[in-house]
Amino acid sequence: MENLITIENLKKYFPIYGGVLKRKVAEVKAVDGVNLNIYKGECFGVVGESGCGKTTLGKTIIRLLTPNSGHIFYQTPREIVEAIKYLEKNDPKSKALKYLLREYDIAYLRGRRLKKLRRFMQIVFQDPTTSLDPRMLVKDIVAEPLVAQGIAKGKEAEDRVVKVLEMVGLSRTHLYRYPHEFSGGQRQRIAVARAIITNPEFIVLDEPTSSVDVSVRAQLLNLFQDLQKELGLTYMFISHDLSVVECISHRVAVMYLGKIVEFAETGELYKSPLHPYAKALFASIPIPDPTRRRERAPLSGEVPSPVNPPSGCRFHPRCELAMDICKRQEPPLVDVGGGHFVACYAIAKKE
Amino acid sequence: MKFKVPERLQPTIREIKFILRRIKDTPLSLFGIAIVMFFVVIAAFAPLLAPPVPGLNPYLIPSDPALGFRVEPSPPSPKHPFGTTLLQRDIYYGCIWGTRWAFQVALEVIIPIVAIGVVLGLIAGYYGGVIDEILMRFTDIILAFPGLILAMCLVTVLTQANWTTIDSVLLSIVLIGWPGYTRLIRGETLRVRNEDYIEAARASGASDLRIMFRHILPNTIYSIIIVASLDFGGIVLTTAALSFLGLGAPTGWADWGRLIYDGMSFVSGGLRWWWSWVYPGVFISLFVLGWSLLGDALRDVLDPLYRRK
Amino acid sequence: MEKAVSDEIIRVEDLYLNFYTYEGVVKALDGVSLDIKRGEILGVVGETGCGKSVTSLSILKIVVPPGKIEGGRIKFNVKGKTYNILEFNEPTMSRVRGRYISMVFQEPRAALNPVYSVGDQIGEVFYLHRKEEIIKAVIEQLKREIETAKGFRKRVSRLYLSLYEGMLKNPKSLRVRLASKVPIVRRFRNLMKKEVRKRTVELLRTLRIPDPERVVDMYPHELSGGMAQRCVIAMALVANPILLIADEPTTNLDVTVQAQILVLIRELQKKFGSTILYITHDLGVVAELCDRVAVMYAGNVVEIADVMTLFKEPLHPYTQGLLESIPRPGKPFTSIPGVVPSLINPPPGCRFNERCKYAMDICWKQKPPLVEADKEHYVACHLYSGGK
């Protein structure tokens, strides 16, 4: 399967300023070395709890944020990625490397070239109430990507808006209204319409169903699946709702404190999560079946602050299987078979 | 043909209807609006209500030759409903044309202040960092200027360049007034800047300029309207006060403050020449009151409206 | 629906509540009836706007205007007597809140005052509702002190003892008031503060907060969501209330923290013997925690049953729809078609009629009453109320 997006060692830190002179005193290591591939046409789920960096990861991939280091390869054939990795190791100053990075690495694009990228990568935010400008008409909100990027305007833009509104289940009568006149589910549809109007290839869905009602959730999820088939989209579906991710994603990655600790195909991951954190996370989901109640909480303690993550494996203070090496060195993501990757010394040893 | 325009304006019309309904529910705001409307009508119909003398600048209050050029004011009479002031200038005429003049002065000051405030405030709030620091320090410096002294200096300097006193005074008010709006708009920009829809606009490829004027500004406009309507009265009051001190409209100008200045010598007589300072005073007070009530009413109506959305 | 009075703590009967807004009158509660039995965890499930939060606010009479209770009774059984909460005046309600009925809200950091430490805030509840107990404990401590102390210490302790006994008899006496103002003498109150602090730390420990000695002095913004919510629960439990109302307390928390809190709530319930009214929209949480469940839709209670029965044999079409819409892998996403009706202009008859696949003629004409379709299983649906 073709890789649409390849991410190498992506890092995004947020500085914290303090003191009288407002110097940088610490950094929030939101994304701290993430490697991942997203295949064309798939729905890639990313789960984790607050502070794990999944939203930051999504926003950095589509370049709403600029990474501190690492690479984001978009539409890059595997051979080129390999070539770049090879060159980086052996001949980091070569001109060829510089050229290749300029061509394929979107991590450090700026200005006009970055603007051109916007057409292909879009995002749907979590809260449709705050992600739509309350002082703009629906028509203008949905047409904005076209107008801002100079793709279309006026009547042509309006026609495209109508087409896209109909695709998400709204209609022409909704053009001249303000967002507050709609329900939560409808607002989210408007946000989706805005995201697809430029015919993008990749859409980051950042907890798109978390702020809407349960009955509306299903409608939106069906919409996402239909659009994916119709328009050949690739999704990155970020959520903390594990049951929703299970039903819509092809592959899922679990994040903890800025790193991916496990990823695999959905069925495989949900059937047998291997990483201790992933196991505890899945075991914590309340099951809507009163005959299966839990006696103990699967995981004790709290998530540490991403400003000062623990040394070595981030999870070692809370992990039952923690060994000596876990405190000293970060475990790499290891393939334990069938495309199932885990970053854990204890598990890797077992498999 | 008929259906194209209404569709486009429908949501705006709905909003205006909603605002009007809420205003209706607050009696005090209705009172304020009534006062402001009253003054707007007077200003609009000034030439009808107090016909100017042909050939003379309508803003110069004509004196009545029939009463001679006596210094003492004459009491109200059918010909001079509000009486006359110094040198037999008709107070009624002065108050009517003074209304128009008040609006002119207020607009001449508010528009530049708001414009400067918007531009600087948006830039400072949006970009933050060093730009924000520089602009804010500069604003702080300006805020430290004593307005009255600045006015007097500007008057002295600019009369050399043939500026009229009133123009210099207006310039000084503008120079003193823009930091307030800059701060206001900068604050609002900071609030709006972190909203999701701004990020969404950036994800849609909007340029900084587009974001500032198409997204941030419309969301800060309510605060601007509220403060501006409160300031409307405030500016007129300030110019009246400066006129009262002699820095303002020239002799015989239809300016309420000037009228009070003219009537100043007659205050010592107690209520003997009451019409020379009571009428202009009432006009000023009512004007400021109306705009204050309107501003307060707008604040009550617009703020929760915003929050409710 | 007449039941043995001693069994129930709260019985809400035909509660009507309206919100008077600019858009019109929102008929938020349309004759809500439910009962809360002693010692149980009753879950109230429903979507946004169904009225579950507003029902709980009504029980505590903290509904904010433009909301207004328009009818019904809320029967409250305490100490062998039955009262109607809706008839209580404000001073009486103040005595009830926090002491007999307390509430935990959704956002912990909004429920905590950011300028006071959590210890101070929990301590405040001690002072409000358990002051006598504290004073008695201090008196005991002082008595013991007096026996073993000598000389100056003994005299000071005697002084303090008399002050505390005075406080117990008449807290507003001139003597006590004066003593509280005079510097140095007023240090006698420190004993009380120490006792409160001791109990606060104990309470935090019961709530499984690690290192409670340190946490007691921390400010809300320094705590994580889970810890903050535990502090709020601590505040609610200080006075050992008969009823604890929890309005979506874990919705904003991470799922692992939620699991901890749910286990904790079950433990606390067993330990303190409190009755809990747990409001949520998450059916998984309901299955995990509750003994009985009430399902609400658009301002009505549509089904009440014990948790096993509700999940195994839901009777009301809305409950069935809700259970079906739980996402399951491999199955397409299903939801209940349509949207929640406007509560300003609700449809006549049963408010679920537009979306119900079993809707009959009568469903558009008459509102179905809540009837006992099976043992302890109540449904508000014409399918079961013989309205054919």
- In-domain check, residue C137: yes
- In-domain check, residue B88: no
- In-domain check, residue B37: no
Average pLDDT over residues A188-216: 90
Q: What confidence score (pLDDT) does residue B88 get? A: 77
Print the domain residue range for B175: 102-251+260-308
Backbone angles phi, psi at B60, to 5 degrees: -95, 125
- Directed axis angle between helix A184-196 and helix A138-148, to 10°? 20
Average pLDDT over residues A119-133: 92
- In-domain check, residue C144: yes
Q: Find the closest chain B residue to A182 by CA distance.
A: B309
Q: Cβ separation of C335 and A247 shorter than 8 Å? A: no
- In-domain check, residue B94: no
Backbone angles phi, psi at A23, to 5 degrees: -85, 165
Please name which of B284, B189, B203 lies closest in space to residue B237, comparing C-alpha atoms: B284
Chains near C with 3+ CB pairs less than 8 A apart are A, B
B6 CB neighbours in chain A (<8 A) are none
CA distances from C179 to C159, C169, C176, C190 (A): 11, 15, 5, 13
- Compute the half-sphere exposure of residue B293: CA atoms within 13 Å on the CB side of its CA: 18
Please name which of C66, C60, C73, C142 lies closest in space to residue C105, comparing C-alpha atoms: C60
Q: In this complex, is the C-beta atom of B153 within 8 Å of any C-beta atom belonging to chain A?
A: no
CA distances from B245 to B148, B152, B259 (A): 10, 10, 12
Cis peptide before B280 (omega within 30 of 0): no
How many A-B residue pairs are in contact by the CB < 8 A criterion? 72
A184 CB neighbours in chain C (<8 A) are 48
Q: What confidence score (pLDDT) does residue C4 get? A: 44
B74, B237 contact by CB (below 8 A): no
C294, C303 contact by CB (below 8 A): yes
The bridge status of strand A121-124 relative to strand A234-239 is unpaired
C109, C220 contact by CB (below 8 A): yes
SS3 A226: helix
Q: In this complex, is the C-beta atom of A229 within 8 Å of any C-beta atom belonging to chain C?
A: no
Q: In what order do the strands lie in the sheet with C275-280?
A: C101-104, C243-247, C275-280, C41-45, C292-297, C300-306, C377-379, C371-374
Q: In this complex, is the C-beta atom of B18 within 8 Å of any C-beta atom belonging to chain C?
A: yes
CA distances from A49 to A38, A240, A253, C253, C256 (A): 21, 6, 12, 9, 8
SS3 B293: helix
Best mutation target among C218, C222, C250, C256 (most A Cβ atoms within 10 Å) is C256
Number of domains in chain B: 1
B17 CB neighbours in chain C (<8 A) are none
- The contacts of residue B187 (CB under 8 Å, 6+ apart) are B125
Cα–Cα distance for residue pair C51/C301, rounded to 1 Å? 9
pLDDT < 70 positions in chain B: 1-7, 303-309
Q: Where are the alpha helices (DSSP H) in chain C?
A: 52-59, 90-96, 108-111, 118-129, 131-148, 151-169, 174-181, 189-206, 212-215, 225-237, 255-272, 283-289, 307-312, 317-324
Q: In this complex, is the C-beta atom of B21 within 8 Å of any C-beta atom belonging to chain C?
A: yes
Print the domain residue range for C129: 125-201
Alpha-carbon distance C139 to nearest alpha carbon in chain A (angstroms): 39
Q: Tokens at residue A320, please?
A: 């039952």
Q: Looking at domain A3-249, does it have CATH number 3.40.50.970?
A: no
CA distances from A342 to A48, B232, B307 (A): 15, 67, 47
B203, A114 contact by CB (below 8 A): no
Q: Which residue has the higher pLDDT, B162 or A65?
A: A65
Residue owning tokens 């965890």: C41
Q: What confidence score (pLDDT) does residue A168 get? A: 92
Q: Tokens at residue B94, please?
A: 């002065």
C243, C9 contact by CB (below 8 A): yes
C160, C152 contact by CB (below 8 A): no
Cα–Cα distance for residue pair B283/B95, rounded to 1 Å? 7
B186, B124 contact by CB (below 8 A): yes
Q: What confidence score (pLDDT) does residue B309 get? A: 38
Centre a 10 Å sphere on the Cβ of residue B99 and count the other Cβ atoms it contains. 26
**Which of A183, A240, A247 lies at the smallest CB-CB distance from C255?**
A240
DSSP letter string over C279-324? EES-HHHHHHH-SEEEEEETTEEEEEEEHHHHHHS--SHHHHHHHH
Cα–Cα distance for residue pair A235/C98, rounded to 1 Å? 48
Residues of C with CB under 8 A from a CB of A: 47-48, 210, 224-227, 254-260, 262-264, 281-288, 307-308, 311, 321-323, 325-336, 339-340
- Compute the half-sphere exposure of residue A303: CA atoms within 13 Å on the CB side of its CA: 25
Per-residue pLDDT of chain C (388 residues; tens, 9 = 90+): 334 455 888 999 999 999 988 778 899 998 899 999 998 999 999 888 888 999 999 999 998 888 889 889 999 988 888 889 888 888 988 888 888 999 999 998 888 999 999 999 999 999 888 888 888 888 888 888 888 877 888 888 888 888 888 888 877 778 778 877 888 777 778 888 899 999 999 999 988 888 899 999 999 998 888 899 999 999 999 988 999 999 999 988 888 899 999 999 988 888 888 899 999 988 899 998 999 999 999 999 999 999 999 999 999 999 998 888 888 777 778 888 877 888 888 888 889 888 888 888 888 888 888 888 888 899 998 888 764 4
Please, which residues bridge with residue C306 across strands?
C292
List the CATH number of the domain containing B223: 1.10.3720.10
For chain C, what is the radius of gyration of the CA atoms? 25
Q: What confidence score (pLDDT) does residue A79 get? A: 85
Residue owning tokens 């607009």: B107
Average pLDDT over residues A3-21: 86
- In-domain check, residue B297: yes
Chains near A with 3+ CB pairs less than 8 A apart are B, C
**Which of A118, A145, A180 lies at the smallest CB-CB distance from B309?**
A180
Number of domains in chain C: 1
**Which of C258, C288, C321 lies at the smallest CB-CB distance from A293?**
C288
Cα–Cα distance for residue pair A239/B301, rounded to 1 Å? 38
Query: How does A161-179 read in b/e, with b if 16+ C-beta sit within 10 Å?
Result: bbebbebbbbeeebbbbbb
A125 CB neighbours in chain B (<8 A) are 196, 199-200
Q: What confidence score (pLDDT) does residue B2 get? A: 47
Q: Tokens at residue A221, please?
A: 């999820």
B280, B94 contact by CB (below 8 A): yes
Q: Find the closest chain A residue to B6 by CA distance.
A: A176
- In-domain check, residue C72: no
B22 CB neighbours in chain C (<8 A) are 22
B302, B226 contact by CB (below 8 A): yes
Alpha-carbon distance C374 to nearest alpha carbon in chain B (angstroms): 44
Q: A262-292, pLDDT tens digit by residue? A: 999 999 998 889 999 999 998 888 888 888 8
C22 CB neighbours in chain B (<8 A) are 18, 21-22
Q: What confidence score (pLDDT) does residue C270 get? A: 86
**Which of C225, C262, C284 lies at the smallest CB-CB distance from A288?**
C284
**Which of B196, B199, B201 lies at the smallest CB-CB distance from A144?**
B201
